[in-house]
Amino acid sequence: MILSVALLNQLRHYWIKYRPFLWLFPNASTPSQHLTHATAQKAFKKAKNKTGIEKIGGIHSLRHAYATHQLENGLPVHKLQQQLGHQGLQSTMRYLHWVPDYQHGQTVFSDLVARLEVGHD
């Protein structure tokens, strides 16, 4: 898995600020437990509502968006396959229909997090 420099910096900032002990992202009500899939889904839905996004889709849509953006930036399909953990290339190839102008091999990895204007609260 590729961890971008921007994401690593965000995670370091988070760790310095909150100093999690057992889990990097502990459950708010039970800190000895990790976040659950349901908790992540609720946070995603809340963020969508707060920003006014009405498009249907759960947190898995972030994985789809990541794959599509990496292909838009020219990431080779076999490298994306490795990142997503797909056994067969056909599972990864389904993302290509979203990128009609796909140009194989323009880049190795696009740091999508670095493009965000994220504040450090």
The CA distance from 42 to 3, in Å, is 25
Q: Which tens digit of pLDDT belongs to each residue from 87-119?
A: 998 888 887 776 767 666 555 556 666 666 555
- The number of folded domains in the chain is 2
26 and 52, same structural domain? no
Q: Which tens digit of pLDDT belongs to each residue from 23-44?
A: 998 988 888 999 888 888 999 9
Q: In the numeric block, which tokens belong to residue 43? A: 């946070």
The CA distance from 56 to 58, in Å, is 7
27 and 52, same structural domain? no
The boundaries of the domain holding residue 75 are: 45-108
In a domain, 113, yes or no: no
Q: From the centroid of its chain, how far is CA 65?
A: 8
* Interacting residues of 25 by C-beta distance below 8 A, sequence separation 6+: 34, 35
| Predicted TM-score of the model (pTM) | 0.67
Q: Does residue 56 contact residue 65 with C-beta atoms inside 8 Å?
A: no
CA angle 36, 27, 55 (to 5 degrees): 50
